[in-house]
Amino acid sequence: MKIALGSDHAGLPLKKQIIDHLESKKIEIKDFGTYTEDSCDYPDYAMKVAENVASKEFELGILICGTGIGISIAANKVPGVRAALCGDTFSAHACREHNNANILALGQRVTGQGLALDIVDTFLNTEFEAGRHERRVNKISQIEEKYSK
């Protein structure tokens, strides 16, 4: 499994902790930035990760900003991306199982490190259930197609 990661400056510390966590589990990752604490714009990193997940170059992505809100809104503008902002493990499980979310968004200023790592593990270890959920996810794609023209 190849995981794409990105953050703005506000999400950088948590991103580093997640990278250490995933590398300790021998999970292949690529960090698309930001790499410094200099102030930057979350849409730039949302787009890099979102494009790499939408193209299927990477199976799943993780994006972090201060709240997780801006970076998830931006990622969801890329066709094929279903980014889910999660602050609990139930949502992390459900967004994979029901919504086939392909990007997890986290808020560094909202969610503590221990919980964030549990959310990451839950997200990466849960499969899409398909079945009745597939029809609904397909309807999300249809909305995207309608407004992509």
Active site residues: 65, 98
Nearest residue (CB) to ligand RB5, 78 versus 100? 78
Q: Are 46 and 30 in contact (CB under 8 A)?
A: no
3-state class of 134 per DSSP?
A: helix
42 binds ligand RB5 (CB under 6 A): yes
Nearest residue (CB) to ligand RB5, 19 versus 110? 110
76 binds ligand RB5 (CB under 6 A): no
Give the Å distances, CA to CA, from 112 to 23, 32, 44, 67.
20, 22, 24, 12
70 binds ligand RB5 (CB under 6 A): yes
Of residues 123, 74, 76, the one with CA closest to residue 97: 123
Nearest residue (CB) to ligand RB5, 33 versus 66? 66
For the CB of residue 74, give the shortest distance to ligand RB5 in the complex, in Å.
Answer: 9
For the CB of residue 70, give the shortest distance to ligand RB5 in the complex, in Å.
Answer: 3
46 binds ligand RB5 (CB under 6 A): no
Of residues 71, 53, 51, the one with CA closest to residue 63: 71
Nearest residue (CB) to ligand RB5, 38 versus 127? 38
Q: Are 82 and 103 in contact (CB under 8 A)?
A: yes
Long-range contacts of 129-132 (CB under 8 A, 24+ apart): 129/97, 129/98
In the list 13, 33, 43, 66, the residue contacting ligand RB5 (rule: CB under 6 A) is: 66
67 binds ligand RB5 (CB under 6 A): yes
65 binds ligand RB5 (CB under 6 A): yes
Task: Give the distance from CA 42 to its chain's centroid.
Answer: 13
Contact set with ligand RB5 (CB under 6 A) = 8, 10, 42, 65-67, 69-70
